[in-house]
Amino acid sequence: MRDSLEMITAIIDQRRAVGAIAQDALQVLMESRYSDGTALTPNEITGILTASMFAGHHTSSGTEAWTLIELARHPEWMARVVAELDGLYARDGGLTYQAFREVPVLESVLKEVLRLHPPLVILMRGVLADFVVEGVTIPTGKLVAISPAVSHRIPELFRDPTRFDPSRYDPGREEDATPFAWIPFGGGHHRCSGAAFAIMQLKAITMSLLRRFTFELVDPPDSYGPDYTKMVVQVRQPCRVRYRRRADVGRAAGARPDGTAATTNDAVRVRVDLGLCQGHAVCVSEAPAVFRLNAQQTAVEVLQAEAPAALRDQIATAVKHCPTHALTIEDA
């Protein structure tokens, strides 16, 4: 934390010294004021930025791990999610924003994962004014806390609460409809502002993974549990799963874009736009026989000017997932 404070303080001092104004979260915090006009201190700004990074990374990574574990534990739900995603890919040809809104099965699975495995074990609030709960006065200045892990297992709210049951969110049942029943993101005025983004992020990651791989547990299903020793609850280690690339996805190796079979004489020519390439090397991982990073690790080089047809599928995947769209296929 001390190193972070020193780094961020130096950036703040530099910006203020030259009058620089950036379009980023740090600038927003630098310009923020309390109701009495007091500016945030560098220490407060560092704390907010650090908390934001934890909130956006550890929570999502832990939830995605639990999503794959729970789906592997419950193959009937895995099959339903995969069928839903394959249908969307067949229609749209890939991940789209509209597709994220049309995955009710996956959305219910994510809700159930967040119910059973909320990333935060405790949520705290400061009391701004006295209030009474069942005859007990909670005075101003005190802290109150709730635990989503406990609230999500109240049987009056969630029937058979320890059971993984995404159907509890189906129309007509909707067990999450009771106010403050389902609270992985908190609730009220201070509900997590990134909740919608987090759900979309989890959908995108899960859809991408399940479209390309199959997953199965390595260890007994009941051996996977939470690690409560950290601020953000993660899966207890070791957490092992086995994954394999799906053999039923995409065109057969060597197929032309129109679906007809390629002959042994067909070749694939791929072009790299060095003005766009930034050396992310996604293509290297997808088609290592065709691409490599240059010696400076700054851009990609093509190893085969005309790659054999058998590599077309790998090259097409590399082109599709290039972050900067720097690759183009030109049939020889």
Share of the chain above pLDDT 70, in %: 92
The continuous run of DSSP H or E covering 308 comes out as: strand 307-308
Amino acid making up residue 185 = F
Q: How far apart are CA 87 and CA 272, in angstroms?
A: 32
Q: What is the pLDDT of residues 123-161, one digit of tens each?
A: 999 999 999 999 999 999 999 999 999 999 999 999 999
Return the pLDDT at 322: 87
Count Cβ atoms below 10 Å from residue 143 Cβ, excluding itself: 9
Asked if 300 contacts 277 with a C-beta cutoff of 8 angstroms, the reply is yes
Count Cβ atoms below 10 Å from residue 125 Cβ, excluding itself: 14
Angle formed by the axes of helices 75-92 and 195-212, nearest 10°? 90
Return the pLDDT at 135: 94
Q: In Å, how far are 110, 166, 167, 170, 309 from 104, measured between CA atoms?
A: 10, 10, 10, 9, 38
Any idea what DSSP says for residue 218?
Answer: S
How large is the average pLDDT for residues 280-295? 89
Q: What is the pLDDT of residues 13-70, one digit of tens each?
A: 999 998 888 888 899 999 999 999 999 999 999 988 887 777 777 899 999 999 999 9
Residue 331, C-beta contacts closer than 8 angstroms, at least 6 positions apart: 266, 267, 268, 269
**Taking 70 as the threshold, does the pLDDT of residue 219 lie above it?**
yes
Q: How far apart are CA 259 and CA 171, in angstroms?
A: 40
Q: Which residues on adjacent β-strands are paired with residue 301?
A: 292
Confidence of residue 213 (pLDDT cuts 50, 70, 90): very high
Higher pLDDT, 188 or 115: 115
The continuous run of DSSP H or E covering 267 comes out as: strand 267-272
Q: Which of 36-45, 164-173, 305-314 has the lowest mean pLDDT?
A: 305-314
pTM of the model: 0.66
DSSP 3-state of 324: coil
Q: Whose CA is closest to 55, among 186, 194, 151, 199?
A: 194
Tell me the torsion sign for CA atoms 44, 49, 54, 55. positive
Residue 318 structure tokens? 């590399």
Q: Supply the Cα-derived Rg of the chain in whole angstroms.
A: 25
Q: Which of 58-67, 106-115, 193-202 has the lowest mean pLDDT?
A: 193-202
**Taking 50 as the threshold, does the pLDDT of residue 120 lie above it?**
yes
Q: What is the pLDDT of residues 254-284, one digit of tens each?
A: 444 444 444 445 688 888 988 889 888 889 9
Q: Which domains are present in the chain?
A: 2-40 (no CATH), 57-245 (1.10.630.10), 267-331 (3.30.70.20)
Question: 170-185: buried (b, 16+ CB within 10 Å) or exposed (e) per residue?
Answer: eeeeebbeeeebbbbb
